Structure 1
Amino acid sequence: MRLILAAGAAGMVLSPAAALAQDPVHLVVKNHHFSPDHVTVPAGQRFLMTLTNQDDTVDEFESYDMKFEKIVVQGGTITVHAGPLHPGTYKFFDDYHPDLATGTVTADGAGQEGTH
Structure 2
Amino acid sequence: MKCKRVVAAALMSLPLVAMAADMPTFRLEMNDGKLSHTRIEVPANTRFKIEVVNKGKSPAEFESLQLRKEKVLAPGVESFVVFQSLSPGEYRFYDEFHASAQGVIVAK
Q: Same fold (TM over 0.5)?
A: yes
> Which residue is equivalent to 2:106?
106
Unaligned runs of 5+ in 2: 1-11
Unaligned runs of 5+ in 1: 1-10, 109-116
Higher fraction of strand: 2
Q: CA RMSD in A?
A: 2.3
What is the aligned residue count? 96
Whole-Å Cα distance in 2 between the matches of residues 66 and 29 of structure 1?
19
The percentage of counterpart residues that share the same residue type is: 30
Structure 1 runs of 4+ aligned residues shifted over 4 Å read 14-17, 19-22
Work out whether residues 92 and 104 of structure 2, in 8 Å CA contact, stay in contact via their aligned partners in 1.
yes
SS of aligned partner of 1:18? helix
Work out whether residues 66 and 91 of structure 2, in 8 Å CA contact, stay in contact via their aligned partners in 1.
yes
Higher fraction of helix: 2
Whole-Å Cα distance in 1 between the matches of residues 38 and 73 of structure 2?
17
1:1-116 to structure 2, matched below 5 A, reads 15=16, 17-18=18-19, 22-98=23-99, 100-108=100-108
